[in-house]
Each structure stands twice: as structure tokens, then as C-alpha cells.
């Protein structure tokens, strides 16, 4: 019986993870090249997060004082301008981000782009200690974004496998026979829909709310009775297992 439970759970988890991967923002340089400026700013914010930057925030679209994204890494607060261009960048973005440093009270400035920089721009950046994240650097950061997501997905898959299997096994130990019918998830919640062998077991499951929370390592938000002897257990996904799409 346990083997059957595990096989069923693995099938559903594979489906869930496949959906997650399709919804995940997977960036390529080609996709970034086709974005407008606003889209590129948010893409850069995502890429920065996956590369270890914390407290990443996109500034307002107008009146941003030459800074598109604020981020922090290694206790250094960065003011970053994001430029999606079709040609090399000149001095202008460097000058703008230098001007925005004081306004946003940042320690260091940077310019992030899908292109490269002219020699005068590089020289000006060096004089003002502005970090330049050009196309080659961006490509490397995109690769790390994909690896970061894969690591999170594997952790999430492991959590789903363990919690689902233990949930069904626990109910069976209590004399409640069921099978996983569906698994749904978003950023913060996770739901397990179970097909019960006996409809009378629904009330028994509701009475085991605390035990279910302990098994799934998550707070049970609700237990909903469905049609056809099915029940859906909704829990708050533990923060360490959450994946932001």
C-alpha cells in the first residue's frame, strides 16, 4: 500500500513541478532584448534577487532620479540603472546614476544593460566607482538565475513528496483510507485534495487538524468538504519552500 501511495504522490508532484517550471520567469538574452524599458527593469530585479541581492525594489517609473532598482548585497546598498538598448551605452547612464546615489542614500552605483559600454563610459564609471554590468555579465547572471530556481524547485519537490506521503500514511494508520486526487499550489498556500474510501471519514479528518499541521510542517488554513467523497486540506506553505513565479 505504501508503494502505491508513493507512486501516486510522485505522479502528482511531477505535474505540479512541471506547471511551476512553465510559469517561472525563465529569462534569456533574446527575451531581454525584446522587452521594453519597464519590463527590463523588473526582469533585472528578478535576476538580481537570484544572484544574492537582498531588499530588491524597483523605483517609481517617473522621477526616479536616474535609478531604476535599489538592492543590497554584502551590506552594500546599490543604486542601479537598467538600460535595455540596441547600441552601446555612452556616458549618460553613468552620470544619471551618480546623481541618484545621494538621493537614495546608496553606497555604490551600477548600470545594468543588455548591451556594452563605450570606452568613455568605462572611464567615467571607473573614476566614479560605478559598477558596469554589461551583456556578458548579464548572461552569467541569467545562468545563475536558472540554477537558483532549479535548487528551489528540488527543495520544494522533496517537501511535497515527504508531506504528501506522510499525510496519506498517517490517515491510513488512523483507519482513514484515501489517495491523493490533486495537488495545487501558489506562492503562499498548498492544497491536497484526497479521495476518501468512506465519506464518514471527513469529520474524522477535520478533527485531526493539529496532527495534520505537524505532519505537513505547515499551518492548516482550512479543510473543505467537496463532492464525491473528496476533501481538500489547505495549508500555508512553509516560507523556506516557497517558490516565487
**pLDDT, tens only, 194-237:** 888 887 888 888 888 899 999 888 899 999 888 878 889 999 98
> Domain boundary residue among 69, 101, 133?
133
Q: Are residues 167 and 211 in the same domain?
A: yes
Four-point Cα dihedral 90, 95, 101, 106, nearest 10: 30
Q: Is the pTM of this model over 0.75?
A: no
Same domain? 204 vs 125: no
For residues 115 and 12, what is the distance between their CA atoms, to the nearest angstrom? 42
Examine residue 94 and state whether it is found in any structural domain, yes or no.
Answer: yes
The lowest-confidence range among 25-34, 66-75, 126-135, 152-161 is: 152-161
Mean pLDDT, the chain, whole residue set: 85
Pair 124, 165 in one domain: no
Domain end marker among 133, 161, 190 = 133
Q: Kindly tell me if the per-residue pLDDT of 163 is higher than 90.
A: no
CATH of the domain at 228: 3.30.980.40
Asked if residue 174 and residue 217 are part of one domain, the reply reads yes
Of 83-92, 135-144, 193-202, where does mean pLDDT reach its minimum? 193-202
Q: Are 85 and 112 found together in one domain?
A: yes
Q: How many structural domains does the chain have?
A: 2
Full residue range of the structural domain in which residue 58 is found: 35-133
Report the distance separating Cα 245 and Cα 241, nearest Å: 13
* Tens digit of each residue's pLDDT (9 = 90 or more) over 27-37: 789 999 999 99
Q: Say yes or no to pLDDT of 2 above 50.
A: no
pLDDT surpasses 80 at 147: no
Q: Which residue has the higher pLDDT, 193 or 8?
A: 193
Partnered with residue 26 across adjacent β-strands are: none
Confirm whether 140 is domain-assigned.
no
Cβ 90 vs Cβ 121: under 8 Å = yes
- Please choose, from the candidates 179, 206, 204, 203, the residue with its C-alpha nearest in 3D space to the C-alpha of residue 193: 179
Whether 45 and 123 share a structural domain: yes
- pLDDT, residue 55, reads 95
Claim to verify: residue 83 and residue 163 sit in the same structural domain: no
Q: Which residues contact 205 (CB under 8 A, 6 or more apart)?
A: 171, 176, 194, 196, 212, 223, 231, 233
Please give the pLDDT value at position 113.
Answer: 97
Sheet holding 108-113, edge to edge: 54-58, 69-73, 76-83, 108-113, 130-133
pLDDT at 86: 95
Examine the domain organization and report whether 18 and 40 are in the same domain.
no
CA distance 137 to 245: 23
Specify whether 118 is located in the same domain as 202. no
Flag whether 28 is in a domain.
Answer: no
User: What's the average model confidence in pLDDT over 47-51?
Assistant: 89
Residues 9 and 39 in one domain: no
Amino acid at each position: 500500500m505504501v508503494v502505491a501511495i508513493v507512486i501516486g504522490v510522485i505522479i502528482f508532484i511531477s505535474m505540479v513541478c512541471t506547471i511551476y517550471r512553465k510559469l517561472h520567469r525563465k529569462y534569456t538574452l533574446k527575451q531581454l532584448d525584446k522587452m521594453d524599458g519597464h519590463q527590463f527593469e523588473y526582469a533585472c530585479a528578478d535576476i538580481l534577487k537570484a544572484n544574492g541581492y537582498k531588499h530588491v525594489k524597483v523605483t517609481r517609473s517617473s522621477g526616479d532620479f536616474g535609478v531604476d532598482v535599489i538592492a543590497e548585497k554584502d551590506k552594500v546598498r546599490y543604486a542601479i540603472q537598467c538600460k535595455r538598448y540596441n547600441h552601446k551605452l555612452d556616458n549618460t547612464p553613468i552620470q544619471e546614476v551618480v546623481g541618484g546615489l545621494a538621493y537614495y542614500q546608496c553606497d555604490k552605483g551600477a548600470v545594468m544593460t543588455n548591451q556594452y559600454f563605450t570606452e568613455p563610459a568605462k572611464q567615467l564609471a571607473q573614476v566614479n566607482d560605478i559598477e558596469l554590468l554589461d551583456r556578458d555579465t548579464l548572461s552569467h547572471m541569467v545562468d545563475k538565475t536558472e540554477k537558483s530556481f532549479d535548487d528551489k524547485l528540488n527543495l520544494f519537490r522533496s517537501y511535497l513528496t515527504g508531506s504528501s506521503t506522510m499525510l496519506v500514511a498517517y490517515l491510513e494508520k488512523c483507519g482513514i483510507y484515501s489517495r491523493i486526487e490533486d495537488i495545487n499550489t501558489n506562492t503562499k498556500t498548498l492544497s491536497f485534495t484526497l479521495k476518501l474510501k468512506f465519506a464518514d471519514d471527513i469529520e474524522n479528518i477535520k478533527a485531526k487538524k493539529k496532527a495534520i499541521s505537524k505532519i505537513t510542517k505547515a499551518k492548516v488554513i482550512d479543510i473543505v468538504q467537496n463532492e464525491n467523497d473528496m476533501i481538500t486540506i489547505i495549508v500555508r506553505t512553509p516560507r523556506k519552500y516557497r517558490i516565487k513565479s
